[in-house]
A and B are shown apart, each in its own frame.
Chain A
């Protein structure tokens, strides 16, 4: 695999200490795409993005150009909402893009607004990301002063305000309809789709395009170099480049921008230019290919390319570009519990199968880990999973409004299928050592 001739599209400025400043941005081609775009018809800008075949980078992987086209014709106003609520466990890319290159994101927002016809955009940053908020606020202030945002941008008829908003700690708000609820000042609970597809009925019940930070950060390059240049990179169904975070038991954890659909998991995890192999040269036990919601992969999946369709067919997803590596020393029960506990804590409580189901999954796994497991518990886990996601299949079916509940099923089905003896050993061992009255309350993972 050759990586040297692949341009870095979205991380090209990361090497500069002042990559977040307007001066650096302008000195490295910044806002050229905006100048170019406003000399073009808005529809031509949209066509450029369509021809790039840019897949959304938030998790679902829906083509951005197609998403834009879903807004009903001649219904105004339309809004653009930027999803900067990155919080899928294992995911670390949007924060980098917001902290290190906020102007690139802002220019992407402007290009999208110009093409779609949005007069106001809302940039929603995760609440916990103080530096990202600060860098974006400063960048917005500078870009307003320079005439790139606001009324009659660069002397044209194009006018848009970009409003910085931020959350306050809730994973579910990364789901687009929950994000819209949050932007309307409500509890971040997802809306039912249909009828509330944001492109048709979104913010204030108006057509709303919700795009991820990484998705929008690609737009300046695409408009500057053309959609075809972008589509020349990557595999047929996964164009361009993409950021992947490789974390866990690797020698050199990091975030890497690679050609999409070509690089394999083995390249990313083992190649010296990327994560450099498993720590202490241990064997790999499992890895999560696309964030905590994704079913786990194992050694036999290492040679699969990071390509959407291939990974979907193999029974998981690339999701948000988060690869979490577990070596042979990992306790599968503990890792499984930790991921499930996340979903139990973050369930918004709107749908019963998720609210009750994730809570019970956590309790059952916790008692297995604590030595109080029962022989019937493994069947019970799968039964609860089946109630949240009938058939426990991939892609998951759901009895819930949003995919959060089914996401808690992924780690259980993966770990039980592959490491069932570890769960059974915990339970058998517990039976042998169980005492009739616990001398102390079992040590539980503490809740905040």
Chain B
């Protein structure tokens, strides 16, 4: 399996450079690895460990805490159906059952063609739009069974080009231009903020 590509390694170094401590970049780098491969591979975790100067076990230790990181291949489309209270009241569990029947899989499983994984997820902050779901973390509000079927058809046929494969979150990355950058403030940098200092001088 794969380490980060040269391009992603460069990006990883840029991200690490934004934090006072390299380990703070760990979760963003795990997302980068998942974006590259669709899931987080052992090799990628070893590579990340090298980049931020911790052991591979520490990387796995953090990664395994978080629901979104997958350590085995999942479907190209991760379908997360909310069944928490607001969605449950409005038919989220029935929607999940319908999705299971339509795709022939249970939550946590992937269809044989590798296209779909279903998850039964906790509240995703679309409570007034229940029942709701996400496909690769893109929202679909007030979904009926018929709309679910249509969505599955569109995803299968490749018509939904607006939804990138699993692993890709934001399609815009933060870029801090070198000429505008204020710079990392490490805990060792105990200097009084200059704008506070001059304000105090002006007052005294």
Chain A interface residues (CB < 8 Å from chain B):
38, 41-43, 74, 76-77, 79, 86-92, 94-95, 114, 117-120, 126-131, 133-134, 137-138, 140-141, 144-145, 147, 149-151, 156-161, 163-171, 182-188, 204-206, 245-249, 253-255, 288, 292, 322, 324, 326, 330, 334-335, 338-339, 342, 345-346, 348, 445-448
Can you show 19 pairs from A to B with CB atoms below 8 A apart? A41-B202, A42-B199, A77-B190, A87-B122, A90-B127, A117-B192, A119-B189, A150-B180, A151-B183, A159-B183, A161-B183, A166-B169, A168-B63, A184-B23, A204-B21, A253-B130, A292-B85, A334-B88, A338-B88
Q: Which of A90, A206, A445 contacts B187 (CB 8 A)?
A: A206
- Of residues 84 to 128 in B, which have CB atoms within 8 Å of A's CB atoms? 84-86, 88-90, 93, 96, 106-108, 119-128
Closest to A205 in B: B187
Task: Tell me, in angstroms, the Cα distance from A87 to B62 when the chains sit together.
Answer: 20
Q: Which residues of chain B have a CB within 8 Å of any CB of chain A? A: 18-21, 23-28, 30-31, 52, 54, 61-63, 65-69, 80, 83-86, 88-90, 93, 96, 106-108, 119-130, 134, 136-139, 168-177, 180-187, 189-196, 198-199, 202-203
Chain B residues with CB under 8 A of A87: 122-125
- Shortest distance between the CB of A292 and any CB in chain B (Å): 6
- Cross-interface CB contact of B128 among A88, A120, A246, cutoff 8 Å: A246
> Would you call B181 and A150 a contact (CB within 8 A)?
yes
In the bound assembly, the distance between CA atoms of A119 and B195 in angstroms comes to 10
A435, chain B: closest CB distance, angstroms? 24
- A119 and B193 within 8 A (CB): yes
What's the nearest-Cβ distance from chain B to residue A103, in Å? 14
**Judging by beta carbons under 8 Å apart, are B182 and A120 in contact?**
yes
Neighbouring B residues of A335 by C-beta, 8 Å: 85, 88-89
Q: Known contacts being A42-B196, A156-B195, A161-B176, is A448 close to B85, with CB within 8 Å?
A: no
Query: In the assembly, what is the distance between CA of A100 and CA of B31, in Å?
Result: 24
Q: Is the interface of B mostly helix, strand, loop or mixed?
A: loop
Instruction: State the Cβ distance, A319 to closest chain B Cβ, in Å.
Output: 13
A33 CA / B119 CA spacing, docked (Å): 43
Chain B residues whose CB sits within 8 angstroms of the CB of A133 once the complex forms: 169-170
Smallest beta-carbon distance B86→chain A, Å:
4
Given contacts A158-B195, A253-B129, A445-B93, contact A163 B84 (CB under 8 A): no
**Nearest opposing residue in chain B for A138, CB measure:** B172
Q: Does A342 contact B125, Cβ atoms closer than 8 Å?
A: no
Give the residues in chain B near A138, CB-CB below 8 Å. 172
B23, B52, B123: most-surrounded residue (chain A CB, <10 A) = B123
- List B contacts of A140 (CB < 8 A): 174
Write the nearest CB–CB distance from A357 to chain B, whole angstroms.
Answer: 18
The docked-state distance in angstroms from the alpha carbon of A77 to that of B183 is 13
Set of chain B residues within 8 Å of A446, measured between Cβ atoms = 96, 106-108, 120
Q: Which A residues are in CB contact (< 8 Å) with B24? A: 165, 183-185
Across the interface, A41 reaches (CB within 8 A) one of B90, B177, B203, namely B203
Residue ID in chain A nearest B65 by CB atoms: A187
Contact flag A165-B67 (CB < 8 Å), given A91-B127, A159-B182, A448-B119: no
Residue in contact with A185 in the complex, picked from B26, B174, B175, CB distance below 8 Å: B26
